[in-house]
Amino acid sequence: MNSRGDVIIVGGGVIGLTTAYFLAKEGASVVICDQGKLGMESSWAGAGILSPSDVEHAQLPVDRLRALSSVLFPTLTQELKDRTGIDNGFLRCGALEFVSQALPEMSDEWHGLGATINKLSEKQARTLEPALAPNLGDALEVVDMAQLRNPRHLQALRAGCQATGKITFREETAVDGFVIEKNRAQGVRAGSEVLQGGAVLVCGGAWTDRLLEPIGCKLKIEPVRGQIALVNPGTVVFRRILIWGSRYMVPRADGRVLIGSTEEHVGFHKVPTAVAIQNLLELGIRLVPRLAEAAVEKTWAGLRPGSPDGLPFLGRVPGFENLYVGAGHYRAGIQLSPGTGVLLKELILGQPPSMPLDAFRLDR
Q: Examine residue 5 and tell whether it contacts ligand FAD (CB under 6 A).
A: no
3-state secondary structure the chain: CCCEEEEEEECCCHHHHHHHHHHHHCCCCEEEECCCCCCCCHHHHCCCEECCCCCCCCCCHHHHHHHHHHHHHHHHHHHHHHHHCCCCCCECCCEEEECCCCHHHHHHHHHHCCCCEEEECHHHHHHHCCCCCCCCCCEEEECCCEECCHHHHHHHHHHHHHHHCCEEEECCCCCCEEEEECCEEEEEEECCEEEEEEEEEECCHHHHHHHHHHHCCCCCCEEEEEEEEEEECCCCCCCCEEEECCEEEEECCCCCEEEECCCECCCCCCCCCHHHHHHHHHHHHHHCHHHHHCEEEEEEEEEEEECCCCCCEEEECCCCCCEEEEECCHHHCCCCHHHHHHHHHHHHHCCCCCCCCHHHCCCC
Q: Examine residue 315 and tell whether it contacts ligand FAD (CB under 6 A).
A: no
Q: Which stretch binds ligand FAD (CB under 6 A): 21-29, 65-73, 327-335, 342-350?
A: 327-335
Q: Name which position in 327, 343, 344, 348 contacts ligand FAD (CB under 6 A).
A: 327
Site string for ligand FAD, 105-144 (x = CB under 6 A): ----------------------------------------
Site string for ligand FAD, 184-223 (x = CB under 6 A): -------------------xxxxx---x------------
Which one, 11 or 315, has the nearer CB to ligand FAD?
11
Q: Which stretch binds ligand FAD (CB under 6 A): 32-40, 130-138, 156-164, 177-185?
A: 32-40
| Other C-beta atoms lying within 10 Å of the C-beta of residue 135 | 6
Q: Examine residue 339 and tell whether it contacts ligand FAD (CB under 6 A).
A: no
CB of 260 to ligand FAD, least distance (A): 5
Which one, 138 or 175, has the nearer CB to ligand FAD?
175
Q: Examine residue 153 and tell whether it contacts ligand FAD (CB under 6 A).
A: no
Sign, Cα dihedral of 256, 262, 267, 273: negative
Which one, 34 or 222, has the nearer CB to ligand FAD?
34
Q: How many binding residues for ligand FAD (CB under 6 A)?
A: 42
Site string for ligand FAD, 44-63 (x = CB under 6 A): -xxxxx--------------
Residues 161-180 close enough to bind ligand FAD by CB under 6 A: 174-175
Q: Name which position in 30, 67, 230, 334 contacts ligand FAD (CB under 6 A).
A: 334
CB of 135 to ligand FAD, least distance (A): 27
Q: Examine residue 284 and tell whether it contacts ligand FAD (CB under 6 A).
A: no
- Residues of this chain that interact with ligand FAD (CB under 6 A) are 10-16, 33-36, 41-43, 45-49, 174-175, 203-207, 211, 226, 228, 260-261, 302, 304-305, 327, 329-335
